[in-house]
A and B are shown apart, each in its own frame.
Chain A
C-alpha cells in the first residue's frame, strides 16, 4: 500500500519535473541519490569520479526528463548513470593513473556488536579482495553483479538499466559471479 502511495507520489513529482519544476526534481534526486552514488562508486572505484558522474547523471536526467515516458523511473535513472559510468571508464582507461584503488569497501558484520580486532582485520582484508575481484570483472558483468547483488535490483530492472535482454542479464550475472567465486575462493571458506 505504502509502495503504491510512493509510486503515485513519484509519478506526480516526475510530471511536475517535466514541466520544469526543479524543486520536484530535487525531491526525486533525494530519493535516489544514495543508490546512484553507490552504483557509480562501485563501478568507478573512487569517490572523486563517482561524485562527478553522479552529479552529471542527475543533470542529464533533469535535462532529458521530458523523454521519460512511462515505466520504472529508478531503472531509467540507473541507465543514465550506467552510461555516464561507461563514458568515464573509457576516459579512465586512457589515463590509467586514476585506477580502482580508492574504493572503500568495509563489509557489514551480520551481528551489530562491535567487531573484535581479528574480525575487523579479516573484514578489511575481505573488503579489499572483493574490491579487487569486482575491479577485475569486465564492465558489463561488473555492472550486472553490482546492480543485482549490491543494489538488489530484480532482473527486469537490470535489463532496463543496462538496455539489454533478460537472457543477457542472466548470462552476465552468472559469468560475473563465477569469476568472483574464483577470486574469492579462500574467503568463501572463511565466511560460509
Chain B
C-alpha cells in the first residue's frame, strides 16, 4: 500500500499537469480551428482534446458565438461617394506668382528705405543743401558767371538736425511700406497654403 499510493498520486498529478499544458497550448489554436486555418494533424489534435476536455469545449463554443455575433455586424451604407474629382483649371498660380514678385519688390524697397534712414542719408542730403543755401552767398561776376564767397565765421550758425523737419516724410513712407509688405506677404502665404492643401486633386 505504501508503494502504491505515491505512485498513483504522481501519475494523477502528471496527467493533470499534462492536460493543463495541452489546454494552454490548444487555447491559441481554437480561433484558427474555427477559421479552418490548421493543418490536418493539428485539427485532429484539437478535436481529440475537445472530446476529452469540457473546459476547452465550452471555450470553443463561446468563441464560435462571438464570431457569429461579429459576422452579424452589418456593413454601413455610404454617406457619400468617395470618387475623386478632376482638378480644376489652374488660375491661382499666376496670381500667386504676381503676388510673390510684388511682395519681394515691397520688401526690397522697405529694406532700402530702412537702411537709408539708419545711415541718415536723407538727412545728410538735407544738411548739405541747407549749408549751401545758408553758408554761401552767390554773387554775379562781370563775365556773366557766378562765384561763391565764403561767409564770415560769425555768420555761420551751428546746424542742429531735427528729423521731423526732414524734407522726406521718411517715417510715413516706412509705415506705409510695412503695411504693404504685411498685406502682400499674408495674402501670398494664405494662397500658397491653400494651393499646397489642394495640391494634385480636388475633393468632390
Q: Which residues in A have some Cβ–Cβ distance to B below 8 Å?
A: 22, 25-26, 29-30, 33-38, 41-42, 47, 51, 54-55, 58-59, 62-63, 104-108, 110, 126-127, 130, 145, 148-150, 152, 155, 170-171, 173-174, 177-178, 180-181, 184-185, 187-188, 191-192
Whether the pair A187, B69 counts as a contact (CB closer than 8 A) is yes
Q: How far is the CB of A91 from chain B (nearest CB, A)?
A: 17
Whether the pair B74, A107 counts as a contact (CB closer than 8 A) is yes
Q: How far is the CB of B20 from chain A (nearest CB, A)?
A: 17
Bound complex: CA A189 to CA B80 (Å): 38
Which of B8-16, B45-53, B82-90 lies at the interface with chain A? B82-90
Partner of B76, one of A22, A37, A192: A37
Whether the pair A108, B72 counts as a contact (CB closer than 8 A) is yes
In the bound complex, residues from chain A placing their C-beta under 8 Å from that of B81 are 29-30, 33
Whether the pair A191, B84 counts as a contact (CB closer than 8 A) is no
Bound complex: CA A49 to CA B80 (Å): 14
Within 8 A of A (CB), among B15-74: 27-28, 30-32, 35, 37, 62-63, 65-74
On whether A181 and B83 interact (CB within 8 A), knowing A108-B74, A170-B37, the answer reads no
A27 to B, closest residue via Cβ: B83
Whether the pair B78, A33 counts as a contact (CB closer than 8 A) is yes
Whether the pair B80, A51 counts as a contact (CB closer than 8 A) is yes
Whether the pair A38, B69 counts as a contact (CB closer than 8 A) is no
Bound complex: CA A148 to CA B67 (Å): 9
Q: How far is the CB of B55 from chain A (nearest CB, A)?
A: 14
In the bound complex, residues from chain B placing their C-beta under 8 Å from that of A105 are 73
Bound complex: CA A178 to CA B31 (Å): 9
Interface size class of B (residues with CB under 8 A): 20 to 34
On whether A38 and B200 interact (CB within 8 A), knowing A148-B35, A192-B65, the answer reads no
Q: How far is the CB of B38 from chain A (nearest CB, A)?
A: 10
Given contacts A181-B62, A181-B63, 12 further A-B contacts (CB under 8 A): A22-B84, A26-B84, A29-B81, A30-B83, A59-B203, A62-B84, A104-B76, A150-B71, A174-B32, A177-B67, A187-B69, A188-B65
Bound complex: CA A62 to CA B83 (Å): 11
Say if the beta carbon of B182 comes within 8 Å of chain A: no
Within 8 A of A (CB), among B122-157: none
Whether the pair A25, B73 counts as a contact (CB closer than 8 A) is no
Partner of A177, one of B63, B83, B84: B63
Bound complex: CA A129 to CA B67 (Å): 14
On whether A155 and B84 interact (CB within 8 A), knowing A110-B72, A126-B69, the answer reads no
Say if the beta carbon of B201 comes within 8 Å of chain A: yes
Q: How far is the CB of A42 from chain B (nearest CB, A)?
A: 8
Query: 7 A–B contact pairs at CB < 8 A?
Result: A33-B81, A33-B82, A149-B71, A150-B73, A150-B75, A173-B35, A177-B67
Whether the pair A59, B69 counts as a contact (CB closer than 8 A) is no
3 closest A-B pairs by CB: A149-B70, A174-B31, A26-B83
Say if the beta carbon of B79 comes within 8 Å of chain A: yes
Bound complex: CA A110 to CA B74 (Å): 11
Whether the pair B73, A107 counts as a contact (CB closer than 8 A) is yes
B28 to A, closest residue via Cβ: A174
A34 to B, closest residue via Cβ: B78
In the bound complex, residues from chain B placing their C-beta under 8 Å from that of A108 are 72-74
Whether the pair A130, B69 counts as a contact (CB closer than 8 A) is yes
